[in-house]
Amino acid sequence: MRVRRSLEVWKMGIVNYLDALKLQEKLISDRKVGKIPNTLLSLQHPPTYTLGKRRTYHNLLVPESDLQRMGAELHYTQRGGDITFHGPHQAILYPIISLREIGLGARKYVENLELTMIELASLYGVQAHPGGTGETGVWVGDRKIGAIGVRISSGITSHGLAFNIDPDLDYFKHIVPCGIAEKGVTSLKRETTMELPAEEVIHEQLISCFARIFAFTNLVCKENVSVLTTTHDSSQQFS
């Protein structure tokens, strides 16, 4: 008999990057001690540039003061990967899940995140594919449509993926996206010949693709979750 694998999905709307970072840290701690189940955050960020733990500052092509003038923030994180951009009209998923519980290693986990975005793109007739050696994320030809940057601590994941629905691609001109100078960035809007539905629908589809790829069969969705929602009923423990 197949075990039903549960996932709690928080639909959060637009969340400031630092607030999302603090929330993830809290949820990681709770997941490690079994206070919460496997949890998926679905959200967007205001215009934000982030650097991974390798601190590849040279891939930021403008002074930080210029970012401030354009209304964008710059933050340093402990995720893997190079510099990237998050902003409106991107679909972001931050899984806080136990890899040990679902029986995945780090490499397979990243491959499944890639497959999640590839499957979403295919719904709109877009043939996306993983990158080559040293090229994480998902590509359409030589144009990146989805970024991946993950952190795994004691088998618990955080950070995750960002899929370009229809962001302002000019923001990417101020960086070397993911440290790859010779390739470009694209979006679902640019690549598909189909008319896109409301973004909420695409967010839902991305969640569904994630659940299917990772074999989560029981989704518990929480709508319009505030970033202040950082506590669960601690009387129930999850393995």
Q: Which helix (H) or strand (E) holds 74?
A: strand 73-76
The answer to whether 83 is a known ligand-binding residue is yes
The answer to whether 215 is a known ligand-binding residue is no
pTM of the model: 0.90
Whether the CA torsion 105, 51, 57, 167 is positive or negative: it is positive
* pLDDT tens-digit map of 134-180: 778 899 999 999 999 999 999 999 999 999 999 999 998 887 765 56
Separation CA 137–CA 116 (nearest Å) = 11
Looking at residue 123, its pLDDT comes to 98
* pLDDT tens-digit map of 95-135: 999 999 999 999 999 999 999 999 999 999 999 999 887 77
Q: What is the domain count for the chain?
A: 1
The answer to whether 14 is a known ligand-binding residue is no
Task: Give the pairing of strands 218-222 and 39-44.
Answer: unpaired
Q: Is the pLDDT at 238 greater than 60, yes or no?
A: no
**Is residue 21 a contact partner of residue 75, using CB atoms and an 8 Å limit?**
yes
Task: Give the pairing of strands 6-14 and 143-153.
Answer: unpaired
Separation CA 111–CA 116 (nearest Å) = 9
Q: Is the pLDDT at 91 greater than 70, yes or no?
A: yes
**Is residue 5 a contact partner of residue 218, using CB atoms and an 8 Å limit?**
yes
Residue 34 lies in a domain: yes
Residue 225 lies in a domain: no
Is residue 178 annotated as a catalytic residue, yes or no? yes
Looking at residue 57, its pLDDT comes to 66
The answer to whether 18 is a known ligand-binding residue is no
Residue 231 lies in a domain: no
Strand-by-strand arrangement of the 73-76 sheet: 73-76, 48-51, 84-86
Residue 237 lies in a domain: no
Looking at residue 84, its pLDDT comes to 84
Catalytic residue among 91, 178, 185, 206: 178
Q: Is the pLDDT at 54 greater than 90, yes or no?
A: no
Q: What CATH number does the domain containing 211 carry?
A: 3.30.930.10
Residue 71 lies in a domain: yes
Residue 156 lies in a domain: yes
**Is residue 75 a contact partner of residue 85, using CB atoms and an 8 Å limit?**
no
Task: Give the pairing of strands 138-140 and 143-153.
Answer: antiparallel
Residue 228 lies in a domain: no
CA angle 112-7-107, nearest 5°?
Answer: 20
Task: Give the pairing of strands 73-76 and 48-51.
Answer: parallel
Q: Report residue 79's pLDDT band, with 50, 70 and 90 as the boundaries.
A: confident
DSSP 8-class letter at 155: T
Residue 233 lies in a domain: no
Q: Tell which wins on pLDDT, 179 or 227.
A: 227
Host domain of residue 130 = 6-219
